[in-house]
Structure 1
Amino acid sequence: MIRAAVFDVGETITRDDRYWASWADWLDVPHHTLSALVGAVVAQGRDNADALRLARPGIDIAAEYHAREAAGRGEALDETDLYDDVRPALSALRHLGIRVVVAGNQTPRMGDLLRDLDLPADLIVTSGEWGVAKPQPAFFERVLEVSQASPEETVYVGDHPANDLIPAKAAGLRAAHLRRGPWGHLWADDPEVVARADWRIDSLSQLTSIIAH
């Protein structure tokens, strides 16, 4: 029985369109160019940040992030960044008595922005606030602490096999792989994903139906 559902953020709860567009504007490269570079690193199984390194060789990403914030062009989030199924699915899960947690690899600033949206979640927290990031085992230890349920009663939901699915299963959690965003679509039928995922879903509403029944 599932008692807690914990959700990744990027391409699970929120679209990454604004994130990459804002970086493209800051680096003064066309949006489609950076999107193509993101697709290339995803296909190679590399970290998304490598797209920025390809667009601007030698970039100090942390320094550029702080420069963007100082210039008033930093992280932003509003209702249009949410996928349409997020509020209905999270609300339905809470109605079923499921503890809903949002926990992903984001900055403390993004944690504040997410909480400002007043999502139907019991807790919203980011790796930047915890000081530990996926796929490190310590991140999923924290996930289990805040889930307030046993590993087999907790499902982690995300699009990224290496950051979400595989380390969640290694920690003993149930895992739902979401076919959403470049990682979710590209790796949806990968044999390891098929073998390890407890569920493979195309929407958060599909997960709600699975848990309900």
Structure 2
Amino acid sequence: MIESIVFDIGETITRDDRYWATWADWLTIPRHTVSALVGAVVAQGRDNADALRLVRPDIDVAAERAAMEAAGRGERLDETDLYDDVRPALSALREAGVRIVIAGNQTARASKLLRRLDLPADLVVTSGEWGVAKPQPEFFQRVLGVAQTEPSRTLYVGDHPANDVFPAKAAGLRAAHIRRGPWGHLWADDPEVAAAADWRIDSLTQLTAIVAD
């Protein structure tokens, strides 16, 4: 029985459209160019920040992010950044008695912005607050700590096989791969992902039936 569900953030809970558009505008690069480069590095199995390095090889991503914040052009999140199924799915799962945690690779600022949205979740936390990021095993040990349930009763939901599905399974959790965003679509039918994931879903609302079963 699944007692706790932990959700990835980018392209699971939130769309990344605004994030990449903000970078494109800051670096004065056409938005379509940045989107295409993100797709290219994803297909090559590279870090998505490599998309920025392809247009600015000497970029210091952390320094540029700080400059964006100082200029008032940093991270923003509001209701329009959420996928449409997020609130209905999380609400239904909480009504079913499931503990809901949102935990992903995001900045500490992103966690504050998400908390302001008052999502139906018991906890929102990010790698920026923990000081450890996926796919490191320590991240998933933290996940188990905040989930407050046994690994076999804890489900991690995410779009990225290398960051979500595989390390979650290695930590003993159950895993659901969502066909969403570039990573989710690219690897949706990959044999290794199909073998590793306990469930493959197209919408977060499908989790209610999974919990019921």
- Give the TM-score category using the shorter length: over 0.9
Q: CA deviation at 1:158?
A: 0.1
- Is 1:54 the equivalent of 2:54? yes
Q: Indicate whether 1:5 and 2:5 are aligned.
A: yes
Q: Unaligned regions of 5+ residues in structure 2, if any?
A: none
1:57 Cα offset (Å): 1.2
**Hey, what does 1:177 align to over in structure 2?**
177
User: Root-mean-square deviation (CA), in Å?
Assistant: 0.5
Task: Show structure 1 runs of 5+ residues with no match.
Answer: none
**Residue type of the partner of 2:171?**
A
Task: Give the drift of 1:9.
Answer: 0.2
CA distance in 2, matches of 1:58, 1:188: 33
Deviates more, 1:201-210 or 1:30-39: 201-210
In structure 2, distance between residues paired with 1:31 and 1:206: 32
TM-score, structure 2 normalization: 0.99
Are residues 1:106 and 2:119 paired?
A: no
Read off the aligned partner of 1:77 and give its amino acid letter.
L
- TM (norm. structure 1) is 0.99
Number of residue pairs aligned between Structure 1 and Structure 2: 213
Question: What's the counterpart of residue 138 of structure 1?
Answer: 138
Find the aligned partners of 1:208 and 1:26 in 2 and give their Cα distance: 40
Paired residue secondary structure (1:47): coil
Deviation readout 1:143-194 (Å, 9 max, x if unpaired)? 0000010000000000000000000000000000000000000001111100
Amino acid at match of 2:186: L
- The Cα shift of 1:207 comes to 1.6
1:49 and 1:207 mapped to 2: Cα distance? 31
- The residue correspondences of 1:9-48 to structure 2 (distance < 5 A) are 9-48=9-48
The Cα shift of 1:80 comes to 0.2
- C-alpha distance in 2 between matches for 1:203 and 1:55: 34
Residue 209 (structure 1) shift: 1.8
Aligned equivalents of 2:35, 2:55: Cα separation in 1: 10
C-alpha deviation, 1:208, in angstroms = 1.8
String of CA shifts for 1:115-167, please: whole Å, max 9, x gaps: 00000000000000001000000000000000010000000000000000000
2:63 aligns to what?
Answer: 63
The answer as to 2:204 corresponding to 1:204 is: yes
Secondary structure at the aligned position of 2:103 is classed as strand
| Stretches of 4+ aligned residues off by more than 6 angstroms | none
CA deviation after TM superposition for structure 1 residue 211, in Å: 1.2
Counterpart code for 2:55: A
Helix, strand or coil: the match of 1:169?
A: helix
Deviation at 1:105, TM superposition (A): 0.2
